[in-house]
Amino acid sequence: ALRKIQFAQQRGFRAVIFEINSPGGAVVASKEIADAIKESGLRTVAWIRDIGASGAYWVASVCDRIVADPCSGVGSIGVIGQHIEVSELMKKYGVRYEGFKSGEFKDMGVPFRKTTAKEKKVIQDHIDELHRFFVSQVAANRGIEPRTLGKYADGRVFMGEEAKRIGLVDFLGGRAEAIRQAEIAGNFRHAFVYDIEDLREEFMFAVQALFSQAPGGIGRGVARELLERAQRNPGSWLPGNLF
């Protein structure tokens, strides 16, 4: 995702639509993508398809406009931490856990013993702090009071229409609406839409075709090498006439 943002910047795109279909992911990865979008200076539209939840909604919230289908799942503003604890299973088979550590909490969360009350408090405090940060970021991105957003930041997933009513989504619709909003955000009409994934595939096929007469599959090897270079340095290896 970060390379695609850089690619769009280098190619001078007027607006970018982020097609989102994800239940979320890791905290830091979500923050990195959201920060990159915010710092890119691009006009942006988030298009939520089946689901844009948790970290994926964090990313969507930083965009200028959010479009979702009335049946999309939106929100799930919350943080979860979990692990499997197998001490009873180990006991059944006569397996014991012995840990050697330099601090009281160094082996906190290992699956081989029960979590103590003090450890549970440390973990819960950490999750609560992440949740407060998550809410503050989304509230700032969406222009919603944190206290107001807090009413809905309990992990629930809202359908698109309800999400629009409470301010998590701006417009209802699909691809066509997302393109229309990108045109408005970028202040232009009749957009020519690129798909960055498709562009890279077209480039691969174009280079393979160029070397199709070469023996022993050399075309595929050259194509992959050029594509890898393009991914390392977006924009510099992608000829404009391919697009």
**Per residue, what are the HEC states of the chain?**
CHHHHHHHHHCCCCEEEEEEEECCCCHHHHHHHHHHHHHHCCEEEEEEEEEEECHHHHHHHCCCEEEECCCCEEECCCCCCCCCCCHHHHHHCCCCCCCCCCCCCCCCCCCCCCCCHHHHHHHHHHHHHHHHHHHHHHHHHHCCCHHHHHCCCCCCEEEHHHHHHCCCCCEECCHHHHHHHHHHHHCCCCCCCCCHHHHHHHHHHHHHHHCCCCHHHHHHHHHHHHHHHHHHCCCCCCCHHHC
- Considering only residues 2 and 50, tell me which one the structure prediction assigns the higher pLDDT: 50
Which of 67, 53, 69, 82 lies closest to 154, judged by CA?
53
CATH code: domain of residue 34: 3.90.226.10
* Share above pLDDT 70 across residues of the chain, in percent, rounded to a whole number: 77
In a domain, 234, yes or no: yes
Given this model, what pLDDT does residue 40 score?
86
**Are 24 and 117 contained in the same domain?**
no
Each residue's pLDDT tens digit, 192-242:
666 666 544 444 444 444 444 444 444 445 445 545 555 555 444 343 333
Mean pLDDT for all residues in the chain: 82
Structural domain that includes position 28: 2-76+156-186
182 φ/ψ sector (left φ>0, alpha ψ -120 to 50, else beta): alpha
Each residue's pLDDT tens digit, 147-160:
999 999 999 999 99
In a domain, 191, yes or no: no
In a domain, 66, yes or no: yes
**Are 59 and 41 contained in the same domain?**
yes
Q: Which of 51-55, 141-145, 169-173, 196-200 has the lowest mean pLDDT?
A: 196-200
Distance CA 52, CA 30 (A): 12
**Are 93 and 66 contained in the same domain?**
no
* Share above pLDDT 90 across residues of the chain, in percent, rounded to a whole number: 62
Distance CA 241, CA 243 (A): 5
In a domain, 151, yes or no: no
**Are 20 and 119 contained in the same domain?**
no
Given this model, what pLDDT does residue 46 score?
95
**Are 72 and 163 contained in the same domain?**
yes
**Are 119 and 217 contained in the same domain?**
no
Whether the pLDDT of residue 190 is over 80: the answer is no
**Are 112 and 94 contained in the same domain?**
yes
The set of catalytic residues is 54, 106
Residues with Cβ within 8 Å of residue 107, at least 6 apart in sequence:
99, 101
Buried-exposed string 168-192: b where 16+ CB fall within 10 A, e elsewhere: bbbbbbeeebbbbbbbbbbeeeeee
Whether the pLDDT of residue 30 is over 50: the answer is yes
In a domain, 69, yes or no: yes
Given this model, what pLDDT does residue 194 score?
60
Q: Which of 8-12, 88-92, 168-172, 197-201 has the lowest mean pLDDT?
A: 197-201
**Are 15 and 42 contained in the same domain?**
yes
**Are 56 and 164 contained in the same domain?**
yes
Which of 65, 74, 55, 45 lies closest to 160, judged by CA?
74
**Are 70 and 8 contained in the same domain?**
yes
**Are 119 and 233 contained in the same domain?**
no
In a domain, 139, yes or no: no
**Cβ atoms of 18 and 63 closer than 8 Å:** yes
Query: How many structural domains comprise the chain?
Result: 3
In a domain, 181, yes or no: yes
Distance CA 128, CA 136 (A): 12
Given this model, what pLDDT does residue 238 score?
40
Each residue's pLDDT tens digit, 96-134:
999 899 999 999 989 999 999 999 999 999 999 999 999
**Are 182 and 201 contained in the same domain?**
no
Given this model, what pLDDT does residue 193 score?
65
In a domain, 150, yes or no: no
